[in-house]
A = this chain, B = another copy of it.
Amino acid sequence: MGVVVPFDEARSESESLDPLLHLVNEDMEAINRIILDKAVSDVDLIPQLAHHLIASGGKRLRPMLALASAKMCGYPGNGHIRTASAIEFMHTATLLHDDVVDESDARRGRKTARLIWGNQASVLVGDFLLGQAFRMLVDVGNMQVLKILSNAAAVIAEGEVMQLAAAKNTSTTEDAYLAIINAKTAALFLAAAEVGAALANRPADEQAAMRSYGRNLGLAFQLVDDALDYSGDTRKLGKSVGDDFREGKITLPLILSFRRGSETERAFWNRTIVEGDIKDDDLDHAIALMKKHKALEATMERARAYGAIARDALAIFPASAYKSAMEDVIAFSVNRGH
């Protein structure tokens, strides 16, 4: 049974993010400066809390995608820097609120902000960062970019509410789950990829291609996240293997195991997930059931399928270093170990 998350490409995970990191390095430094600058406030709590999360070594995948998309589409201006910074703020705001909603204690290997400063501060600083994000977008002054990202903000929140409504519902269908991650995760990947083409004023078919790339990459990314929660390395993950299980979170590995399982197995899922009655060796048993039904392999298969759609979406663009780097991001997202 050994490796449950097989590597399907020759390149290692870090190598596959390297080309993008290299291409956008200079712009990312500008973004890091803006992010620190815009998290400043006379109210000390705001920069303290914001920096805790911002400086905690996230991959900054979403702003990098916005930069790469703008550059691949030949955007000559500098509005992509602020736009990408706003996207990272939107993402950070979502993480702050998510951790409150999920009552999470750890993220990226550190205590969550809510554990240090409380739920109240996390809710309010999240609101502040979202406000700052829209301020930055107004500075950029492109109405289509504002449309894309205000739409994303509403859809992400809608997805989070959908997830809350599906909580502990073991009979959630794969389709219903897909609708949730489409909204809560893929919407911001979609927006990040789309804004580059929008800034560059590319024709509708290219903007649609970037949306498709972003959306499917986001789906793949989330599905791999879900698989890693049961199969990853706790040290690399920055959170514990089994967090989703302990929180009673419904993700695809669980959905598939439940559907493919026997009555006895479904009773196990209902006891642990619905009733929250979790004993010491239940996580091991859950992982064993997932292996038995190949639920983690199937989740990874789905992720690769969405990754393939993302790759095909890019096909209409001529070859370039940026295009190639954005293809590599798909491989990174599917093959990563954290």
The interface of chain A, by Cβ under 8 A from chain B, is 41, 43-46, 97, 100-101, 119-121, 123-125, 127-128, 130-132, 134-135, 137-138, 141, 143, 146-147, 150-158, 160-162, 164-165
- Residue pairs across A and B with Cβ atoms less than 8 A apart, 22 shown, are A41-B158, A41-B161, A43-B161, A44-B165, A100-B119, A119-B119, A123-B123, A125-B157, A127-B157, A130-B157, A131-B150, A131-B151, A131-B152, A131-B153, A131-B156, A134-B134, A134-B146, A134-B153, A135-B151, A135-B154, A141-B143, A143-B143
The answer to whether residues A121 and B45 also contact, given A131-B150, A134-B150 and a CB cut-off of 8 A, is: no
The answer to whether residues A124 and B101 also contact, given A153-B131, A161-B46 and a CB cut-off of 8 A, is: yes
Closest beta carbon of chain B to A47's beta carbon, Å: 11
Name A132's closest neighbour in chain B (CB-CB): B154
Contact of A131 among B120, B125, B137, B157 (CB under 8 A): B157
> Which residues of B are found within 8 Å of A97, using beta-carbon distances?
123-124, 127
- How many subunits of this chain does the assembly comprise? 2
> Which residues of B are found within 8 Å of A121, using beta-carbon distances?
161, 164
Starting from the known contacts A125-B157, A134-B150, A138-B146, 14 additional A-B residue pairs (CB-CB under 8 Å) come to A43-B158, A45-B164, A121-B164, A123-B123, A127-B160, A128-B154, A128-B158, A130-B130, A131-B152, A131-B155, A134-B154, A135-B150, A135-B154, A143-B143
Contact B165 A43 (CB under 8 A): yes
Closest beta carbon of chain B to A230's beta carbon, Å: 24
> Which residues of B are found within 8 Å of A123, using beta-carbon distances?
97, 100-101, 123
State the main secondary structure of chain A at its contact with B: helix
> Which residues of B are found within 8 Å of A45, using beta-carbon distances?
161, 164-165
